[in-house]
Amino acid sequence: MSAFSSLWRRYVFIDNPSPIVKQLPTTLVFSGAVLLVTLIPDLEFTDVPVTIAGGLGMILATSLAIVFSGSPSLRRLALLIPFIDLFAIGLFRMGTGGPTSLFSAMIILPVLWIAVQPQRRYIALAALGTSIALTLPYWLEWRFPAESSEWLRGIVTPIVFAVAAAIVNEISRQSDARVRAIHQLADERDVMLRGAVDYAERLSDNEGRMRAADRLTRSVLDAVTEQSVIGADVTGLIDVWNPGAEKMLGLTAVQAQGRRYMHEFHVEAELLVRSKELNYPPGETVLNPGFSALVESARLGKAEVRQWTYVRADGTTLIVEVAVTRRVDEQGTTVGYIFVATDVTQALEVSRLKDEFVGLISHELRTPLSSILGYLELMRDDEDNPLSDEQVQYLGVAERNAHRLLRLVGDLLFTAQVGSSSFTLDTTSLEVEPIVANSVESAGPNAATAGVTMSFIPADEQITVLGDAQRLGQACDNLISNAIKFTPRGGTVSVALTLEEGKAVITVRDTGMGIPEEELDQLFARFFRASTATRAAVPGVGLGLSITKAIVVAHLGELDVQSEVGVGTSFILRIPVAGPVAIPLS
């Protein structure tokens, strides 16, 4: 606060003095002169009315100075004041002895005020004012001075004052220029200071953001505890090692970072095999063959996920799936690699157990069914002990249900194989029409029992696809038997085979109960059953369509469905044709 008030004072009194500040010395000196003449007997007022007029002039000038100081809009008129001062001092001088007055020197005070104005013309104005003040007695008496010394005083003294005014004016101008320069420098310094403060704030903000980003990255890396995230430079030297890596490989970040190379955690024989696979062009220098085998695909910008064996610090091994990506700097130059590894030892074990389970089911369920079906057949075929019609009918029921169970076992096995990606197609070039026709024909008895009319419209041309005849037949069987199951007595199921845009298209359309629109998305999910199917108590476990879809997808085809509740459903199966698009029958 004190610093501020001292600055304010400096501004008001020195840099930009108000009219009263400028007037005050003149008023004080004038008052002192009045006091001297009154108190000292040797001095006397030669002309009292003129002296009083001078005093009134000084009071007027001082009053104006006070008024102008209080009003910024009037301040531009302040230059009137020193001229009034000159006139008042001239009158006072005239009233206290005229040319012999002691107080002629007071004139210098308003002259200096006028002289400090920036323009040079004020030097002349100051000289003119001085001349008028000194020759005031002759002007008032309206006579020309009798002696040459008298009129010369009206010229010489103003010239001396003008010279003094010129010096003051010059000093003032230079001082003003310096003050302006100092102000300008101060302004520039302020601007620079503000800039520096802004820059520092921005720097601080950026640093904060970088720290936050760094903390985020670190916390993400630390949160990954079930996968190892390892970073290495282009030579393979490790520089990132997350808690997942610590857990997986049994080394701390301090033990690994900057001390170990990535390929040290791999089985050398695997790296060697991969190195041979990569088949580097002749002449290419490979700095670090072990590490190079790990990152070669990533180096060429390809995403790579590959199974490797990691060797822990204690020498034990684990099977991992490693995704390798490239790290680049701002210019796009490779500066290292990131290895994200997932332990798949357990997943592989689960897959092996699943395969074992599938094998076991295959044997354990099919064997009793073999006995049941075999002995049922023996009973039916026993010519020595022919069965009654009723017994034959009972046997038929038992056989039908045993076959149903067998189909279910087959579907479960197939679903398990699809899930573990272990199902294969026995692909040959085959004609589609006999497959579809066979499915339609074998569904005939079922359709007849269900009171459903069936029709088949074959294609105009022969259509050949690359596929597995048994699996394609299974897909057609599923679609047709579904259509029959979901169509009420008196309805129709129409099957059509066409060739459209290079694809064999099998359409199975029924006039059944339909599937609600919101359930169409889930229709191909395993064990899903439409609400219309469960409501109508249509038997099934919900595997047929998922199996059909898997078969179609394995044939690079598509399976679409269109349905309306109460109107019917259409399944459209499309499979790309093999080789030449079609062979016209003609």
| Binding residues vs another protein (CB under 8 A) | 359, 362-363, 366-367, 369-375, 377-378, 381, 406, 410, 413, 417, 423-424, 426
Q: Output the smallest distance, CB 381 to another protein, in A.
A: 6
Sheet of strand 227-233, all strands in order from the earlier edge strand to the far edge:
238-241, 227-233, 334-343, 317-328, 304-311
**CB neighbours (10 Å) of residue 25?**
14
Nearer to another protein by Cβ, of 367 and 449: the residue is 367
Nearer to another protein by Cβ, of 307 and 371: the residue is 371
Nearer to another protein by Cβ, of 371 and 449: the residue is 371
Q: What is the DSSP string of 83-112?
A: HHHHHHHHHHHHHTTGGG-GGGGGGHHHHH
Q: Output the smallest distance, CB 267 to another protein, in A.
A: 29
Residue whose pair of structure tokens reads 């049941």 in the numeric block: 372
Structure tokens at 518: 């919101």
CB 474 within 8 A of CB 506: no
Nearer to another protein by Cβ, of 237 and 413: the residue is 413
Q: Output the smallest distance, CB 412 to another protein, in A.
A: 13
Nearer to another protein by Cβ, of 170 and 377: the residue is 377
Q: Output the smallest distance, CB 540 to another protein, in A.
A: 22
| 544 Cβ contact partners less than 8 Å away, ≥ 6 residues apart | 411, 478, 481, 482
Q: Output the smallest distance, CB 261 to another protein, in A.
A: 42
Q: What is d(CA 62, CA 48) in angstroms, rounded to the nearest whole number? A: 21
Q: Output the smallest distance, CB 377 to another protein, in A.
A: 6
Q: Output the smallest distance, CB 358 to another protein, in A.
A: 10
Residue whose pair of structure tokens reads 């020595």 in the numeric block: 384
Q: What is d(CA 92, CA 137) in angstroms, rounded to the nearest whole number? A: 11
Nearer to another protein by Cβ, of 373 and 499: the residue is 373
Nearer to another protein by Cβ, of 206 and 367: the residue is 367
Nearer to another protein by Cβ, of 374 and 539: the residue is 374
Nearer to another protein by Cβ, of 346 and 424: the residue is 424
Q: Output the smallest distance, CB 478 to another protein, in A.
A: 17
Give, in degrees to the nearest 5, the angle at Cα 411 between 410 and 414: 85
Q: Output the smallest distance, CB 524 to another protein, in A.
A: 22
Single out the residue of 370, 405, 435 nearest to residue 573, CA to CA.
435
Nearer to another protein by Cβ, of 426 and 501: the residue is 426
Q: What is the DSSP string of 540-585?
A: --S-HHHHHHHHHHHTT-EEEEEEETTTEEEEEEEEEBPSSS-B--
CB 327 within 8 A of CB 336: yes
Burial 214-230 (b: 16+ CB within 10 A, else e): eeeeeeebeeeeebbbb
Please name the helix (run of DSSP H) or strand (run of DSSP E) that holds residue 504, with its range, or none: strand 503-510
CB 179 within 8 A of CB 129: no
Q: Output the smallest distance, CB 554 to another protein, in A.
A: 13
Structure tokens at 29: 């000196």
Burial 232-252 (b: 16+ CB within 10 A, else e): bbbebbbebbbbbbbebbebe
